[in-house]
Chain A
Amino acid sequence: MSELDEVVGEFLVESYENLDRYDEELIALERVPGDLEILDSIFRTIHTIKGTCGFFGFSTLESVTHVAETLLDRLRTGELAVTEEIASALLTTGDTVRRLLEAIEATGEESDDDCAALVAELERLDTTGEPAGAPSAAGVSGGDPGEATAAPAQAGAPSDTSDSEDAASGADAPAGAPSPGGLAETTVRVDVGLLDDLMNLVGELVLARNQIVQLVAEDPDGEFAGASQRLNLITTELQEGVMKTRMQPIGHVWNKLPRVVRDLAVTCDKQVDLAMEGRDTELDKSLIEAIKDPLTHLVRNAVDHGIEPRAERRAAGKPDVGRLTLRAFHEGGQVNIEISDDGGGIDLSTIREKAVAKGIAGADEVARMGEREVANLVFAPGFSTASQVTNVSGRGVGMDVVRTNIERIGGTVDVSSELGAGTTFKIKIPLTLAIVPALVVGVDAERYAIPQLSLVELVRLEGDAAREGIELVHGAPVHRLRGQLLPIVHLGRELGRVEGVCERDVLNIVVLHADGERFGLVVDEIHDTQEIVVKPLGSHLREATLFAGATIMGDGRVALILDVLGVAERAQVVSESRERSARSHDDEPSVGGDARRSLLLVAVGEDRRAAVALSEVARLEEFEPSAIEWAGSHEVVQYRGDILPLVRLSEALGVATTSTANDTVEVVVHRHGDRQVGLVVSEILDVVDDHLSLDGTACRPGLLGSAVIDGHVTDVVDVDTVVATAGLPPPSHPEVAA
């Protein structure tokens, strides 16, 4: 790199930084049009660029910045007032300058970008612009007219070549530009590549430390122990220190957002006030890059779809100016980012309809989902609720990409919304990706690391609980975790290392979440948690979607890091579970004839056994007897913000009961359409796959017949008839109930 190139390089870096600030300041200026301090800073940015590019002979750049400077000067002296028009033109100037600088960076020369139109526009504004004191245009909130000086003084733009005085003053401008005083002396510009190298070295050190700590653990009394202890501490501190050098405040990404919001608000003819909290919240540089696009998308989305048009807001009794709040904070070793608007919120019923219409989920399944689950359908591929496709959003791409991008860096995104009051997106991402805490598990003598971000809880079952802990739904293994069915994945089988499932005395289930779904991963052993250094896999293993990378363990051996999403996809927990339930709805259970199907066995009364087709079962729940309330003449419980009517199966089937004082009330939740009903049984017994050969003699209303299952005579329940004859009140609507 020649000396001149270096100078140009410095000029570029500095100009980019100044331009980032420039955008932000212009937006701020729109709000406080008379703020001289901001105006001065904006003026300085343009002035510096103009001066330096004159020095290098970049004439197009110089001509653009020159007219902009002239205009800014008149704003500064109060001859003109800031209008939306002027602000727009100045923002466009910033974009053009940036484009020109990028061309210079790429080719070393100016592009032949035609800026005549912009120059003409700026000149026009300079000559015809409203004098200060005139009412400010729409879109600018609050007009504080500057010192009014009537009638523009010097009209006509100066020519861009003959202005020798300006060129001269420009040449010495860069010296004045860097932030003055102490700050420059205490900071050093460091190449990011160097920081990356440092981070890698620290990673190596962490590994070496882990090895030494493990060696010492075998001989804890040796002289080595003390030194190892110190090494341990210093390494941890060094790791934190180096990680800090790569940390950047999230404000770096947010800087661009006021501009995005402003432009979009103007396009959509809305007024939006953007508030930002916690812009000093720091996260790793690589993550800053990675969240830029998803964040921008969510913000655009909030302005475009979230905040309603002015008329609608007025009708709803809200102020004209919509409010968009960005919040960032650290919590639990993660960075939390919240984007909330005070707009119309997400209409869950619309989401349900759309999801069904687009084939994303079955009607039956959508009806069964909780509110949060429904709201999160907006992240499903191919989903878009905007009935009109705008050039801003609503093309059905985007939200799923947002989620994919966030999950790629080990983060999660979640949406909650209140109809009429607004929507909040919550993003959680790790502080860094290079070194992550992980749970180490063992399968078939090999160890695998699971990033703790995906971890929900660990379940350990022993003895009979282990042997009976896993049941089958339609051939798919599930575990009943606190009354909810948790899909089970056998890691050994997914890895192709174990055939079939053997009965064990101890069952370790690692509960994970991926793509909004929870599932349990059965592993042989659970070792411990430790900080692991993530290393990429070679190109030969690019197809190995089960693994996110590899790491080196304390004993020097390599362990693979599981890609939780990859495992879930392979085991088809993520997408298949949807299809599966949709399918089971298609071949609507006609529990009759001689078909093999899954049945939930329950006890009714004291010794009667009954079976319910598993496809009719939404969930199994337990309630305290005290939770049962009365609505009219019916027993109900409050369930997930809704009222769940209860039907005692014993009464429906005419089975005598003695009032047994159970500790809990076992309920089979059945869902049909948008209606939920709880069937009270005395005990949940088992899930079986059976060929039903029905003996129709025992037929009475509510029964499909009887069959011999597991050596017992069992009544097969016709759930629809039972519900229909129970004379329940019309279905309650969640909105009303909640």
Chain B
Amino acid sequence: MSTATQFCTFRLDHLTFGVGVDEVQEVIRAQQMTPVPRAPGVVEGLINLRGQIVTALDLRRRLELDPRPDGAEPMMVIVRAAQGELSLLVDEIGDVVEVDEEAFERAPQTLEGVGRELIVGAYKLEGRLLLVLDTARTVELVT
């Protein structure tokens, strides 16, 4: 998490997020998904990742952002979590960035709701903020 110096970045809505590269297995284009009726809302569906069945979670919904506009093709970040591999749906994939520890600041106290729970802090990059996600919490089952 915050100790990693290399982050895989992606965009959600107008925000830039990052998860440690060591947690990311791969990044792929959106696969055909099989919806799971009566599943928690965050679960977008199931994908076939080389013969393995992986649950896809919609990060927009998890972070309580607006729904993705119709027709926008999401990308998938496959992360290795305690529960096994999981696919996170994001809007767009950014670069892998190397950050300076000194540019890190903890999440402000004013952060509210789900953001306060899931965002560890931010790296102040040039012209934008890189928000660092607590992956373990993000993929935890929301009940």
Q: Which residues of A contact B (CB under 8 A)?
A: 204, 207-208, 446, 495-497, 535, 537-544, 546-547, 550, 552, 556-560
Q: Which residue of B has the minimal Cβ distance to A204?
A: B51
User: What residues on A are CB-neighbors of B84 within 8 Å?
Assistant: 538-539
User: What residues on B are CB-neighbors of A207 within 8 Å?
Assistant: 51
Q: A540-B57, A552-B53 are in contact. Are A558 and B46 (CB under 8 A)?
A: yes
User: What residues on B are CB-neighbors of A559 within 8 Å?
Assistant: 34
B141 within 8 A of A: yes
A535 to B51 alpha-carbon distance, docked (Å): 10
Q: A495-B37, A544-B38, A557-B34 are in contact. Are A535 and B53 (CB under 8 A)?
A: yes
Q: A538-B54, A539-B141 are in contact. Are A546 and B38 (CB under 8 A)?
A: yes
Say yes or no: B34 contacts A446, CB within 8 Å: yes
Q: A538-B83, A544-B36, A546-B37 are in contact. Are A552 and B43 (CB under 8 A)?
A: no
Say yes or no: B35 contacts A446, CB within 8 Å: yes
A540 to B138 alpha-carbon distance, docked (Å): 12
A539 to B35 alpha-carbon distance, docked (Å): 16
Say yes or no: B34 contacts A560, CB within 8 Å: yes
A468 to B38 alpha-carbon distance, docked (Å): 30
User: What residues on B are CB-neighbors of A556 within 8 Å?
Assistant: 48
Q: A538-B83, A539-B83 are in contact. Are A552 and B38 (CB under 8 A)?
A: no
How many residues on chain B are close to A (CB under 8 Å)?
25
A543 to B141 alpha-carbon distance, docked (Å): 10
Say yes or no: A538 contacts B86, CB within 8 Å: yes
Q: Which of B13-40 contact A (CB under 8 A)?
A: 32-40
B9 within 8 A of A: no
A497 to B42 alpha-carbon distance, docked (Å): 17
The 8 Å CB contact of B39, one of A208, A540, A558, is: A540
Min C-beta distance of B48 to chain A, whole Å: 5
A335 to B138 alpha-carbon distance, docked (Å): 45
A542 to B52 alpha-carbon distance, docked (Å): 17
Say yes or no: B37 contacts A550, CB within 8 Å: no
B89 within 8 A of A: no
Say yes or no: A540 contacts B34, CB within 8 Å: no
Say yes or no: A544 contacts B39, CB within 8 Å: yes
Say yes or no: B48 contacts A558, CB within 8 Å: yes
Q: 0/1 per residue, B36-69, Cβ < 8 Å to A? A: 1111101101111001111101000000000000
8 A-B pairs with least C-beta separation:
A495-B37, A538-B55, A558-B34, A558-B46, A539-B83, A550-B53, A204-B51, A535-B53
User: What residues on A are CB-neighbors of B42 within 8 Å?
Assistant: 540
Say yes or no: B46 contacts A550, CB within 8 Å: yes
A184 to B87 alpha-carbon distance, docked (Å): 49
Say yes or no: A560 contacts B36, CB within 8 Å: yes
Say yes or no: A550 contacts B40, CB within 8 Å: no
Say yes or no: B36 contacts A541, CB within 8 Å: yes
The 8 Å CB contact of A550, one of B32, B34, B86, is: B34
Min C-beta distance of B13 to chain A, whole Å: 23
Say yes or no: A547 contacts B36, CB within 8 Å: yes
Q: Which residue of B has the minimal Cβ distance to A496?
A: B37
User: What residues on A are CB-neighbors of B37 within 8 Å?
Assistant: 495-497, 546
A544 to B42 alpha-carbon distance, docked (Å): 13
Say yes or no: B38 contacts A496, CB within 8 Å: yes
Q: Which residue of A has the minimal Cβ distance to B54?
A: A538
User: What residues on B are CB-neighbors of A550 within 8 Å?
Assistant: 34, 46, 53
Q: Which residue of B has the minimal Cβ distance to A570?
A: B38
A544 to B35 alpha-carbon distance, docked (Å): 12
User: What residues on B are CB-neighbors of A542 within 8 Å?
Assistant: 141
A497 to B34 alpha-carbon distance, docked (Å): 13
Task: List 28 A-B pairs, Cβ < 8 Å.
Answer: A496-B37, A496-B38, A497-B37, A537-B36, A537-B46, A538-B54, A538-B55, A538-B84, A538-B86, A540-B40, A540-B43, A540-B83, A540-B86, A541-B43, A542-B141, A543-B39, A543-B40, A544-B39, A550-B53, A552-B48, A556-B48, A557-B32, A558-B34, A558-B47, A558-B48, A559-B34, A560-B36, A560-B46
Q: Which residue of A has the minimal Cβ distance to B83?
A: A539
Q: A496-B37, A538-B55, A550-B53 are in contact. Are A557 and B48 (CB under 8 A)?
A: yes
User: What residues on B are CB-neighbors of A446 within 8 Å?
Assistant: 34-35
Min C-beta distance of A483 to chain B, whole Å: 34
A223 to B51 alpha-carbon distance, docked (Å): 26
The 8 Å CB contact of A537, one of B35, B52, B53, B86, is: B53
User: What residues on A are CB-neighbors of B54 within 8 Å?
Assistant: 538
Min C-beta distance of A527 to chain B, whole Å: 15
Min C-beta distance of A86 to chain B, whole Å: 55
Say yes or no: A540 contacts B38, CB within 8 Å: no
Min C-beta distance of A558 to chain B, whole Å: 4
Min C-beta distance of B76 to chain A, whole Å: 14
Min C-beta distance of A550 to chain B, whole Å: 5
A539 to B85 alpha-carbon distance, docked (Å): 11
A37 to B54 alpha-carbon distance, docked (Å): 57
Q: Which residue of B has the minimal Cβ distance to A552?
A: B48
6 more A-B residue pairs beyond the given contacts A537-B36, A538-B84, A540-B40, with a C-beta to C-beta distance below 8 A: A537-B55, A541-B39, A541-B55, A544-B39, A550-B46, A550-B53
User: What residues on B are CB-neighbors of A560 within 8 Å?
Assistant: 34, 36, 46
A82 to B86 alpha-carbon distance, docked (Å): 63
Chain B CB count within 10 A is highest, among A204, A496, A541, A559, for: A541
A558 to B43 alpha-carbon distance, docked (Å): 15
A215 to B40 alpha-carbon distance, docked (Å): 35
Min C-beta distance of A497 to chain B, whole Å: 6
A446 to B83 alpha-carbon distance, docked (Å): 26
A559 to B37 alpha-carbon distance, docked (Å): 12
A539 to B81 alpha-carbon distance, docked (Å): 11
Q: Which of B67-118 contact A (CB under 8 A)?
A: 83-84, 86
Q: A538-B86, A550-B53, A552-B53 are in contact. Are A495 and B34 (CB under 8 A)?
A: no
Min C-beta distance of B3 to chain A, whole Å: 26
Min C-beta distance of B136 to chain A, whole Å: 13
User: What residues on A are CB-neighbors of B47 within 8 Å?
Assistant: 558
User: What residues on A are CB-neighbors of B53 within 8 Å?
Assistant: 535, 537-538, 550, 552, 558
A546 to B55 alpha-carbon distance, docked (Å): 16
Min C-beta distance of B73 to chain A, whole Å: 18
User: What residues on A are CB-neighbors of B141 within 8 Å?
Assistant: 539-540, 542
Q: Which residue of B has the minimal Cβ distance to A495?
A: B37
A547 to B141 alpha-carbon distance, docked (Å): 18
Say yes or no: B38 contacts A495, CB within 8 Å: yes
User: What residues on B are CB-neighbors of A543 within 8 Å?
Assistant: 39-40
A558 to B52 alpha-carbon distance, docked (Å): 10
Q: Which residue of B has the minimal Cβ distance to A559?
A: B34
